[in-house]
Amino acid sequence: MRAFREAVEAGDADAMETLLAEDVVFTSPVVFKPYAGKAITAAILRGVVRVFEDFRYVREINDPDGRDHALVFTARVGDREITGCDFLRVNEEGLIDDFMVMVRPLSGAQALAEAMGAQFDRIEQEARLRSA
């Protein structure tokens, strides 16, 4: 998933969005219910770009059939160091249709939940504007 990795590393939210399927499902590391749809997923990714500091991918793992990918990352949220993984599945068109994020340690996940919670009104507004 080289194109997505490059978009994230460049902080290019528009490029990230072009790689999402319309029916993408995003599973957050800190919220129980998954988010369905390109508009909300793109808005969440924009929020993450605003929240994460010193983000970098450190490892990429790919499925031999090419549909499943795992991108291991490190980042900081405030004074908390985070290690995480983006689990991506692409559809037949090569677009991401399943996007699950996991992070550790618990204190980092809690810092992420707080920071993203503070962004969520803006995220919902961006998603409404993009889906209109």
- Cis-peptide, bond into residue 105, ω within 30° of zero: yes
Which tens digits make up the pLDDT trace of 57-86? 999 999 887 899 999 999 999 999 999 999
- Indicate if the alpha-carbon torsion angle 37, 118, 55, 10 is positive or negative: positive
pTM metric for this prediction: 0.92
Is residue 115 scored above 90 in pLDDT? yes
Average pLDDT in the 10-35 region?
94
Residue span of the structural domain in which 30 resides: 1-131
Residues of the chain above pLDDT 90, percent: 81
Q: Is 102 exposed, middle or buried (0-12, 13-18, 19+ CB in 10 A)?
A: middle
CA dist 47 and 122 (Å) reads 8
Domain count, the chain: 1
Residue 34 is part of a domain; what is its CATH number?
3.10.450.50
Instruction: Supply the pLDDT for residue 63.
Output: 87
Which tens digits make up the pLDDT trace of 100-114? 999 999 999 999 999
